[in-house]
Amino acid sequence: MATWGFGLRAKSMLALVLACLLSLVPAGLIAWQVLETVRSHFGEAYARNFTLLKRQSILAPISRDLALSRRLADSEVTRQWLLDEQNPSSKALFFKEAEGYRRDFRSRSYFLASAKSLSFYFNDDLKPVSDQPRYILDQTKKSDSWFFSSIRQVEPYNINVNYDAHLKITQVWLNVIIRDGEQVLGVAGTGLDLSTFLAEFIETGEPGITPMIIHRNGAIQAHRNPALIATNQAASRAQEEQTLAGQLPSAPEREALAAAMARAQANPGQVSSFRATLEGREQLLALAYIPELKWHVVTAIDLQAAQVLDRSWLNTAIAALVVLMAILLMSFAYAVEQLVLKPLRKLQHSASALARGDFEVSLPPPSRDELGDLSQAFGSMARQIRNNTEDLEAKVQARTRDLENANREMQRAHQQINDSIDYASLIQKAILPSQQMKQLLGPHHFVLWRPRDVVGGDFYVFRSEAERYLLGVVDCAGHGVPGALMTMLARAALDHAMTQEGIAAPAAILTRTDITVRSMLQHCELPRGIATNMDIGLVHVDREARRLRFAGARIGLYWSDGQEVGEYKGVRRAIGDRRMGSYTDMEIPLQTGITYYLTTDGFLDQAGGELGYGFGNTRFAELLRTHARLPMAEQASALDRALAEYQGGYPQRDDITILSFRFD
Q: How confident is the model at residue 148 (pLDDT cuts 50, 70, 90)?
A: very high
- Please give the Cα distance from 39 to 26 (Å, whole number): 20
Calculate the average pLDDT of the chain: 83
Span of 219-228, 400-409, 572-581 with lowest mean pLDDT: 219-228
Q: pLDDT by residue (tens digit) across 74-101?
A: 999 999 999 998 999 999 999 999 999 9
Of the two residues 454 and 345, the one the predictor is more confident about is 454
Predicted pLDDT at 111? 95
Of the two residues 192 and 586, the one the predictor is more confident about is 586
| Nearest one of 299, 62, 333 to 204, comparing CA atoms | 299
Predicted pLDDT at 630? 94
Q: pLDDT by residue (tens digit) across 469-481?
A: 999 999 998 777 8
Q: How confident is the model at residue 349 (pLDDT cuts 50, 70, 90)?
A: low
pLDDT over threshold 60, residue 224? yes
Predicted pLDDT at 142? 85
- For residues 563-574, give the mean pLDDT: 94
DSSP state of 203: -
Predicted pLDDT at 18? 74
Predicted pLDDT at 167? 76
pLDDT over threshold 60, residue 565? yes
Q: pLDDT by residue (tens digit) across 118-146?
A: 999 999 988 898 999 999 999 898 888 88
Predicted pLDDT at 367? 62
Span of 262-276, 343-357, 497-511, 577-591 with lowest mean pLDDT: 343-357
Q: How confident is the model at residue 571 (pLDDT cuts 50, 70, 90)?
A: very high
Element (H or E) spanning 300, and its range? Answer: strand 295-301
pLDDT over threshold 70, residue 556? yes
Of the two residues 644 and 340, the one the predictor is more confident about is 644
- Please give the Cα distance from 568 to 537 (Å, whole number): 11
| Nearest one of 248, 285, 309, 269 to 36, comparing CA atoms | 309
User: Which amino acid, one-letter code, is at 39?
Assistant: R
pLDDT over threshold 70, residue 369? no
In the chain, pLDDT over 90 holds for what percent of residues?
40
Predicted pLDDT at 144? 87
Residue 600 contacts residue 458 (beta carbons within 8 Å): yes
Predicted pLDDT at 370? 65
Predicted pLDDT at 214? 85
- Please give the Cα distance from 47 to 308 (Å, whole number): 9
pTM over 0.75: no
Predicted pLDDT at 253? 85
Span of 228-232, 263-267, 284-288, 435-439 with lowest mean pLDDT: 228-232
Predicted pLDDT at 2? 42
DSSP state of 306: S
- Please give the Cα distance from 297 to 56 (Å, whole number): 10
- For residues 464-469, give the mean pLDDT: 92
Predicted pLDDT at 514? 94
- Please give the Cα distance from 426 to 223 (Å, whole number): 27
Predicted pLDDT at 3? 42
Of the two residues 202 and 449, the one the predictor is more confident about is 449
- Please give the Cα distance from 60 to 491 (Å, whole number): 10
Predicted pLDDT at 68? 92
| Nearest one of 490, 89, 411 to 81, comparing CA atoms | 89
Predicted pLDDT at 190? 93
Alpha-carbon distance values, 203 to 62, 277, 517 (Å) = 17, 21, 29
- For residues 461-471, give the mean pLDDT: 94
pLDDT over threshold 80, residue 616? yes
Alpha-carbon distance values, 87 to 81, 179, 409, 592, 641 (Å) = 7, 19, 73, 41, 59
pLDDT over threshold 60, residue 247? yes
- Please give the Cα distance from 641 to 434 (Å, whole number): 21
Alpha-carbon distance values, 171 to 196, 222, 231, 459 (Å) = 9, 11, 10, 33
- Please give the Cα distance from 490 to 513 (Å, whole number): 8
pLDDT over threshold 60, residue 21? yes
Q: Residue by residue, what is the 3-state secondary structure of 575-591?
A: ECCCCCCCCCCEEEECC
290 contacts: CB under 8 Å, gap ≥ 6? 55, 58, 59, 268, 296, 297
Residue 300 contacts residue 273 (beta carbons within 8 Å): no
500 contacts: CB under 8 Å, gap ≥ 6? 512
The radius of gyration computed from the CA coordinates of the chain, to the nearest angstrom, equals 36
Q: pLDDT by residue (tens digit) across 313-338?
A: 556 767 777 777 777 667 766 666 65
Q: How confident is the model at residue 4 (pLDDT cuts 50, 70, 90)?
A: very low
pLDDT over threshold 60, residue 6? no
Residue 72 contacts residue 158 (beta carbons within 8 Å): no
What are the percentages of helix, strand and coil residues in the chain, rounded to 5?
Answer: 50, 20, 30
Q: What is the DSSP string of 204-267?
A: ---TTEEEEEEETTSBEEE-SSGGGPPP-TTTSPPPGGGBTGGG--SHHHHHHHHHHHHHHHHS
Q: pLDDT by residue (tens digit) across 573-615?
A: 999 888 898 999 999 999 888 999 999 999 999 999 999 999 9
Predicted pLDDT at 229? 82
pLDDT over threshold 70, residue 36? no
- Please give the Cα distance from 555 to 568 (Å, whole number): 9
- 200, 203, 204, 210: CA torsion to nearest 10: 130
- For residues 480-492, give the mean pLDDT: 86
Q: What sign does the CA torsion over 34, 37, 40, 44 have? A: negative
